[in-house]
Amino acid sequence: MDQMDIRERLGVRPIINVSGTMTALGASIVVPEAVAATAAILNQFVEVDDLQRKASRVIARLCDTEAGFVTASCAAAMSICVAAAMTGSDLFAIERLPDAAGLKDEVIIQSGHMVAYGAPVEQSIRLVGGRVVPVGQATATRAYQVKGAISERTAAAMFVVSHHTVQYGMMGLEAFCAAMHERSIPVIVDAASEYDLRRFLKAGADAVCYSSHKFLGGPTGGIVAGRKDFVRAAYLQNRGIGRGMKVGKEGVVGTIAALEAWETRDHAGIRARETAALLHWRDVLSGRPGVTTKIVPDPTDNPLDRLELWLDPDAAHITAWDLADRLASGPRPVIIRDHEIELGYFLMDPCNLHPGEAEVVGVRLAEELDRALASNTVIASPISERGLRKTQALMSWPD
């Protein structure tokens, strides 16, 4: 059964994802090696601690570090690492969380890193009983602010690598780690959707959290990688608050397979296919009234580009958000990347395309832009109403 059959059988929309590795859309296309490994373990029994030891060795090799393990998600990994910084390997303290009485419980984070990825980043700290200590301002953090925020109650510091964060004025990871390590404060990095499995640890992080199910192309899961004593303390949280964040045998095996496949993946070939899609879309849009395009690099230095599409509503007869909503409707819905759409543009990400889908996206763009041009008036719904519609749809779930 192919991916279209299962979606149709379940009665869910067969979308084309040009948004990226978004959890809300299913994250990524799982690589064949992980699909096979997951299927192979489902009917078998295994000692999970032993299986996680195997995962630790694979993670350590790929990340060039000492240890690692697999958990439910990157968000779970972040919470577990915060808990580890608070309790160490004290089993009694582990069982007490989120009661942090008598423990160091403060976690420093730059204000420009306090973003939402579907939930607030800082909630991953509060969830285990930690106290959030924001430093700096939303657009500027200085070393003296970070150092001044350290107290006798500081348990850890968190550094977020994401396109959502403020991309200027923040303290860089190396300097941030250096400031923390002067006072023996461990640094936890949220690198959920990052390609590079080594550079954050090389920059000084004590533990780095990745998603198994984003660029790695594994099943839903999270990876903790880093210093052995810290990773051990994080793994021990499975005896406490991490129990609700556990991952099954299939998640561990699938993640191992995805990591091993990463070593032999044809990354250059993937980039070539992605570039071909971007150039195709640019050609489709070239010369259209009110449409401006630009191929832009990933803001966190992942080795991929996206197409930035700007719309002049007066010339194109449609706003960026109305075009996005129309692309997402009908029998061939296309979901774009709309994080800053109120500014008049959206992005198109080719990393999750199946063969032939880039061409379908081009057709859909042409269809909707032609319909808009044929309109006697500019299609321009209030952007505020778009947000309200999304909230109302969420609050009416599961209806």
Tokens 């903790």 map to which residue?
Answer: 224
- The CA distance from 336 to 365, in Å, is 11
Strand order in the sheet with 154-160: 67-71, 222-226, 207-211, 187-190, 154-160, 106-110, 131-135
DSSP, res 384 = H
- The CA distance from 334 to 361, in Å, is 7
321, two tokens: 């958000």
Cα atoms in the 13 Å half-sphere on the side-chain side of 201: 23
- The CA distance from 306 to 302, in Å, is 11
- The CA distance from 301 to 248, in Å, is 32
Query: What is the end-to-end Cα distance of the chain in Å, rounded?
Result: 28
Residue 184 phi/psi, 5-degree rounding, is 60, 40
pLDDT digits over 161-178, tens only?
A: 988 888 888 999 999 999
Ranges of each domain in the chain? 3-24+267-395, 32-264
Are the beta carbons of 220 and 251 closer than 8 angstroms? yes
Rounded to the nearest 5 degrees, what angle is found at the Cα of 73, between the Cα atoms of 68 and 77?
50
- The CA distance from 177 to 158, in Å, is 10
374, two tokens: 């044929």
The pLDDT assigned to 1 comes to 40
Pairing between β-strand 131-135 and β-strand 106-110 as defined by DSSP bridges: parallel
- The CA distance from 137 to 122, in Å, is 15
Pairing between β-strand 345-348 and β-strand 305-311 as defined by DSSP bridges: antiparallel
- The CA distance from 307 to 297, in Å, is 9
Q: List, in order, residues 6 or more apart from 203 with CB less than 8 Å away.
A: 173, 174, 177
- The CA distance from 72 to 76, in Å, is 6
pLDDT digits over 231-261, tens only?
A: 999 999 999 999 999 999 999 999 999 999 9
- The CA distance from 206 to 29, in Å, is 30
- The CA distance from 244 to 223, in Å, is 16
Helix pair 74-87, 228-235: axis angle to 10 deg? 100
What topology does CATH give the domain 32-264? Aspartate Aminotransferase; domain 2 (3.40.640)
Domain 3-24+267-395: which CATH number of 3.90.1170.40, 3.90.1150.10, 3.90.1150.180, 3.40.50.720? 3.90.1150.180
Q: What is the pLDDT along the chain (399 residues), one digit of tens a residue?
A: 454 588 888 888 888 999 988 888 888 889 999 999 999 999 999 999 999 999 999 999 999 999 999 999 999 999 999 999 999 999 999 999 999 999 999 999 999 999 888 889 999 999 999 999 999 998 999 999 999 999 999 999 999 998 888 888 899 999 999 999 999 999 999 998 888 899 999 999 999 999 999 888 999 999 999 999 999 999 999 999 999 999 999 999 999 999 999 989 888 999 999 999 999 999 999 999 999 999 999 888 888 999 999 999 999 999 999 999 999 998 889 999 998 899 999 999 999 999 999 999 999 999 999 999 998 899 999 988 888 888 888 888 887
Pairing between β-strand 154-160 and β-strand 106-110 as defined by DSSP bridges: parallel
